[in-house]
Amino acid sequence: MPVNVLFSARPALWPVYEPLLTKGLTEAGLDFHLATDIDPDQVDYVVYAPSGGLLDFTPYTRLKAVLSLWAGVEKIAGNETLTVPLARMVDHGLTQGMTEWVVGHVLRYHLGMDQHITVQDGVWTPDVPPLAPERQVCILGLGALGQVAARALAALNFDVTGWSRTAKDIPGITCLHGDDGLHATLAQAEILVLLLPDTPATEHILNPDTLALLPKGACIINPGRGPLIDDDALLAALNTGQVGHATLDVFRVEPLPVDHPYWAHPNVTVTPHIASETRPVTAAQVICDNIRRSEAGEPFLHLVDRSLGY
């Protein structure tokens, strides 16, 4: 009997993923049926994105797992009809893209590139930046993306501190956790990178109280999730100079409305959710490997802890 794999994502993605998934499942030696329309009670695996519109998993009585094409699973993790394992997307293409984006913007702040690019007033101002070991970079979130970004920055000799809700141990990185660890991390963050998931526990992790803990003039980089930041609090901190600049890639509403204050603020850089993207070639490899593992009786990779929401 073939393994039935339902592709439930934005229809425009089907022509992209169909040949990649077919190739991967074939190379895995599986007898399979891959389609966008399969009787629910015959589906073994769902390749999933919220854009596919699938909300009720109750009819999928034979389902073994839902395999997400997205790294973020906040739109599905709380679905009470989903009782089978849920795996999120962790692929090296997405990770590489995020690392490049984060490192690029950390270096931009570290070297003061904005000033040299935008201020050409004929005044010779040889302000030499400190070397990387003298710059404190902090990362909130030490999941797959946060760990790789932290290691890349440490490899450039930045002094990197990472914070997570639970204890982590990463060679070369100062790892803190818990409320006290969060406060200590923020208090030293000259450049702060947000790579946390969107959960009830992380919403507005940057708020009036936590923003006040930052060194005055700190820079914020958010390629994680929009709800991590209280927007009004950040704007207020930018206006007082408590926060020197913010580079924001993700927002509560996307596209960011044209009348949003972020667009016009002189100390905000908006990028249109481009920090990283699931790459179909590498994502398909991850999906196919998880199906192969399941059919061979091996544990799934990148399972979501539903109690934590990521």
Please give the positions annotated as active site: 225, 273
Q: How far apart are CA 56 and CA 68, in angstroms?
A: 15
Q: Within a 10 A sphere around the Cβ of 104, how many other Cβ atoms?
A: 13
Query: What does the block give as tokens for 6?
Result: 């339902």
Q: How far apart are CA 46 and CA 60, in angstroms?
A: 10
Q: Considering only CA atoms, which of 209, 185, 191 is closest in space to residue 136? A: 191
Q: How far apart are CA 102 and CA 125, in angstroms?
A: 27
> Do the Cβ atoms of 278 and 89 come closer than 8 Å?
yes
Q: How far apart are CA 45 and CA 5, in angstroms?
A: 5
Within 13 A of 262's CA, how many CA atoms are on the CB side?
27
Who contacts 209 (Cβ-Cβ below 8 Å, separation ≥6)? none
CA 161 to centroid of chain Cα atoms: 18
Q: How far apart are CA 275 and CA 228, in angstroms?
A: 16
From the CA atom positions of the chain, what is the Rg in Å? Answer: 22
Who contacts 203 (Cβ-Cβ below 8 Å, separation ≥6)? 227, 228
Query: What does the block give as tokens for 304?
Result: 């979501």
> Do the Cβ atoms of 251 and 226 come closer than 8 Å?
yes
CB-count burial class (<10 Å; 0-12, 13-18, 19+) for 53 = exposed
